Chain A
């Protein structure tokens, strides 16, 4: 239970002790710790291995910029790889493991890579592994891949749940450090609706890690007071543990809220918020960067600001004997802070005094540093400060470029900010506290005022205002060993110079060739030094060299958090037909058809397989009568004085003269001349029509009709309402369908004369329930479709089957429906696939030449109109016992099996109980002329090869006597 590096002070709760697991041991820490601070408190220096050379690495930072201390968090299916220990809020029973080593962390077998370093420089893999050719796939690449990556996924389904949500605010303040807090306070007091978000679990930002005072209180106390005042304002929402990761169009921000208390699988572990704002203030602070010097990657080499954070916020000593290496005043401040806490600072190396750290020693932890090539100093921790880089990422997500400011040696937000965003505080390059507070306050006040909130913003918080002077210094001169720039991806000064020497002079080339800044930390500490070194090598200025493009997300977001709750069965909505319950209770197997679940068939006891059920349903329907729920067809209520005219324009065939009480089959073409949907439209009154569309195209057709109505003919009086879900509609098909319906429909003469083929009527059923009756047939039998309000769906199905008992009426499913339509030769999705014309489908006569048909003109294009083009045909296996395969390609017998001789394909197949063999439909070049001839249906991918006889697509009742009977 010893935390040997723990010292007094800090913002942790020492009254509570937390146990946590690190690799094979239990360690302790306190609430307020991060995993990183707790590991340091326990004297754990070596925490991970680098990506390429597997160098020993320690904790480098105290925030999300951490390149080294990546750990695997959690266990089993709930483990997460590559999490920065510096961002993990310590919890009791937390499990964490180091990663990217073979064997124990201290004795990683792959550290042999480090010895090969001279041969593994920038882009080495592009220059070899090419011979012999076969070895790449078999040997080289598998090896490279097995070495790739840092952590590993569990390979099991993520047991956590996630959610998303939508928030609205006048003002989003990003970052709750001094600038963000004073901005939020000013705007909140003025009365604006404010969201204040910070990725840390404690508000205050750097104030928690420094010894500055604000309004004569300690910085962290001031932050606590401000947070308290803000939380008392109803119009302010405080969001700790919330990282704003992306700036999107029109004031939309993406944010990720962490819920550490969520139980696995109980409540969401993350909530991904889409925040709609009128204004945003970016107060994301700045990130300290390092200096490149030989062997600067040893455990114990740490950012100076991080050292202050561990001492001041976490009450942890990063070392026993420490040194500071700096090019700016922050380094000096670090020495003061640490000394004032009784820590031993043995030397301060300031490049401005001409001093440099030129080497280090200590394999698994820093033992000593070399100053100016000569003087070796024993230290176990070196605090390095290369200056601060404003966190400009969110200002660049709209491709705005930051601009270089020589005086602070840093990139600051450029002039072209995302609309509505202002930047304040350190993120804006303002590095002294007094000015930061002032800038934040006025930014908050201004934003509120611009939005019309005029309440008093209160007074400006006050603090000391010492400026931080810096003289840029990027890396210690060459030939003194490797100096790391990107610690995680193992990119050194030499790599950068070599890539420049090879011609990769663009900063984008540098990034892509060396992988600088492409690791999990996205180069938060390495990008600026890297391009400074590139600029130096090119003999160009940093401003000329520029930066790569900052892309969202600012910090990594779990894929599960973006998916939210759209998972498993709830990936997309499920639509049920009005008779779903009845079908479920009567043996139906269901199948996904788009979002719909439809009955495929109704299994009966004794039926061995689905074919038995389907064959029976077809036989009994054609033999007597069957009932099928066809409610999924799109239904559109069309009303208006000009409805007839409208329909006549959107269908390729004439509709002006359709009488009241009649239904007509209609075909729609796309404007490019290809067929895209078909269905029937019934005329219920002078001004009232009901259209059906295919199930698949219901929404598309409706949208296109609305476009025609609003944009092409805005002065036609016509109105559209989708009524797909409002009606339960059933096909009643078979020779006994009339007899069945006469027991259902109230007082309507169904005789062929009174209610002939393609008649329709509004009527009532079962003694008074309103209904619509259409005499249309998809099966080719004498058939009707009858529709009632959806609320009666299950009951109506029951009623129809009950009324059909004298005739052995059966319910039939989607498969039987499909079989009967193939037998009859009706086209469906497989033929009406957007690549076929009316002519190809044998519907050429339905394209009127007498009117302006949508798509009519482009249907005349030569390739669409060619006489030798594809035509719909029927197919039968020459050997009647053979089976057919949809997707087989059609060839002349004996023709070469290549695309040049490819004459079409099989679109649909079915077993016809009536014909007792398989049948099919196909699209074949010059198909109409081939009736009676024999072709080859060839399907190499399924190893099927069948001779087929080409025939009319109407396998049964070609004259249509049955449906008219």
Chain B
């Protein structure tokens, strides 16, 4: 069924009884052309674009839990393309363009909301960095505007301009950035992939990767052996565990990042705002909740929960720039596992094992990348060549030294 206002009207008048299932629940076949491990955002978008753009439909997505239970189910929904480096910016700009056509693309309203992102600036040195970055954005075809203090004040009069420990001097503004309804993105891709013949298999955990003679032949799962010409791993939060099944060690540490949401409030935050002198970013959801976060807890973890010091640090950052949120109440706070790479940038690549492909190391930038990640991973799977905009996101870059280190923090994952 194609969704439309008409359908809603018709179903409404007839008791909403005929809404079809979003996707089938097939049993796994014994063999596929491509098996995608991981039914989160990147796995589902990879399946969608494989089918839609490259006509590869004999595909299974294996999900150990429920569709969308990856980090796409627990992020802070921000989409943006405001990167500095050649290895990143064109990729995220492609992602932004895909976001902009997404709903029509998969006939599902993911509520892509381009209300902009504002990176606040608090010093001359930071201004120079932001201007360098803003120029890089413009040079790659993205939008970027430099705002002086007056410009920031007009946009966000509620910020603390009088009494801030680190005064707000200006900001880097990307109007096309914004947020999207994260679960709906997963559901939309899932439905789109399913409609094109992809098997979405839930409650199917991969327990082994079959490699013989340097070639990957399939996977062992809780629902039996599944053979595949190509196995594509996109399991944010479990990358090291899954790739270890193929004997690989990765340049990745898994860390916990906490996220926060307040009760529903009437609209008060225009777009996405980030603090430049502390760890805090915030936006407001369509339902009115303040959605915010900050830095990772900073220690290896697979526990999907964090601790109090970071909760405090994040809220301190919030009060430091917008003291109006003091009386808003934190309603729910959760943790997601970030696969932090050694330079803060991701991997979309084939491995040294024929037929085994890897997509991961997204740190906390995974959600905004969902469309381009799937698109470029599909490109890699279909053509065995990296997509132009993802050509730097290679596994061997720490050997060659072609690192993509936006922060210049070096091989210390919890600093990226």
Contacts and interface: CB of A to CB of B under 8 A. Distances in A.
| Direct A/B contact, Cβ within 8 angstroms | yes
A15 interface: no
A567 B109 contact: no
Contact of B138 (A558, A574, A863, A941): A941
A81 B23 CA distance: 40
Contacts of B90: 899
B177 to A, nearest CB: 13
Contacts of B86: 899, 902
B139 A899 contact: yes
B184 interface: yes
A551 B334 contact: yes
Contact of B312 (A518, A556, A563, A671): A563
B176 to A, nearest CB: 11
A940 B138 contact: yes
Contact of B286 (A124, A145, A248): A145
Contacts of B9: 119
A153 B268 contact: yes
Interface in B110-135: 110-114, 122-123, 125, 127-135
| Residue from B69, B303, B331 having most chain A Cβ neighbours under 10 A | B331
Given A155-B268, A399-B305, A508-B66, A830 B323 contact: no
A152 B125 contact: no
Given A153-B328, A887-B128, A125 B165 contact: no
Contacts of B286: 125, 141, 144-145, 148
B12 A121 contact: yes
Interface string B258-277: 00001111111000000000
A148 B267 contact: yes
B107 interface: yes
Contacts of B164: 568-569, 571
B408 interface: yes
Given A157-B160, A899-B86, A886 B131 contact: yes
Given A164-B312, A494-B16, A941-B146, A153 B323 contact: no
Contacts, number: 356
Contacts of B145: 941
A136 B4 CA distance: 14
A764 interface: no
Given A119-B8, A834-B410, A863 B405 contact: no
B123 A887 contact: no
Nearest to B292: A559
A716 interface: no
B212 interface: no
Nearest to A149: B288
Contacts of A676: 410
Given A157-B323, A556-B263, A559-B326, A522 B331 contact: yes
Interface string B141-156: 1001110000000000
A93 interface: no
Given A148-B267, A899-B140, A158 B323 contact: yes
B104 interface: yes
A272 B3 CA distance: 48
A338 B146 CA distance: 68
A130 B6 CA distance: 12
Nearest to B285: A148
A150 interface: yes
Contact of A252 (B67, B307, B334): B307
B264 A519 contact: yes
B331 to A, nearest CB: 5
A898 interface: yes
A902 B141 CA distance: 13
B265 A887 contact: no
A757 to B, nearest CB: 30
Interface string A821-843: 00000000110011100000000
B307 A249 contact: yes
Contact of B329 (A549, A559, A862): A559
| Residue from B7, B13, B329 having most chain A Cβ neighbours under 10 A | B329
B114 A137 contact: yes
| Residue from A80, A121, A498, A563 having most chain B Cβ neighbours under 10 A | A563
Interface string A511-522: 011010011101
A816 to B, nearest CB: 14
Contacts of B7: 127
A745 B8 CA distance: 88
A564 B400 CA distance: 47
A69 B15 CA distance: 30
A560 B329 CA distance: 8
**A interface, size bucket:** 35 or more
A939 B265 CA distance: 40
Nearest to A118: B12
Contacts of A121: 11-12, 16
B313 to A, nearest CB: 9
A641 B353 CA distance: 51
Contacts of A503: 21-23, 25
A850 interface: no
Nearest to B190: A503
A569 B167 CA distance: 10
B185 to A, nearest CB: 11
A152 B113 CA distance: 21
Given A130-B104, A830-B125, A558 B113 contact: no
A887 B132 contact: yes
Interface in B1-45: 3-5, 7-9, 11-13, 15-17, 19-23, 25
A126 B184 contact: yes
B66 A248 contact: no
Interface string A464-476: 0000000000000
A882 B114 CA distance: 37
A887 B170 CA distance: 15
Interface string A551-587: 1110011111011101111111010000000000000
B323 A567 contact: yes
Given A127-B4, A887-B129, A941-B144, A592 B122 contact: yes
Interface in A133-166: 133, 136-137, 141, 144-146, 148-158, 160, 162, 164
A146 B320 contact: no
B191 to A, nearest CB: 9
Contacts of B262: 556, 559
Contacts of B130: 887
Contact of B401 (A130, A154, A566, A673): A673
Given A155-B324, A562-B311, A834-B407, A130 B183 contact: no
Contacts of A940: 135, 138-139
Contacts of A455: none
A568 B322 CA distance: 10
A156 to B, nearest CB: 6
A397 B316 CA distance: 23
Contacts of B110: 126
Contact of A149 (B122, B287, B308): B287
Interface in A651-680: 670-674, 676
A823 B132 CA distance: 21
Interface string A248-287: 1100101000000000000000001010000000000000
Interface of A: 51, 78-82, 118-119, 121, 124-131, 133, 136-137, 141, 144-146, 148-158, 160, 162, 164, 246, 248-249, 252, 254, 272, 274, 397-399, 494, 498, 501-504, 506, 508-509, 512-513, 515, 518-520, 522, 549, 551-553, 556-560, 562-564, 566-572, 574, 591-593, 670-674, 676, 829-830, 833-835, 858, 861-865, 885-889, 897-899, 902, 905, 907-908, 938-942
29 contacts: A79-B327, A82-B263, A118-B15, A119-B9, A126-B188, A130-B107, A130-B109, A133-B104, A149-B266, A150-B263, A150-B288, A151-B265, A152-B265, A157-B160, A252-B308, A398-B303, A506-B66, A506-B202, A509-B66, A519-B263, A562-B312, A563-B316, A567-B319, A571-B165, A571-B166, A574-B165, A673-B401, A885-B131, A887-B133
> Which 4 pairs, one residue from A and one from B, show the smallest C-beta to C-beta distance?
A834-B408, A149-B288, A158-B326, A560-B326
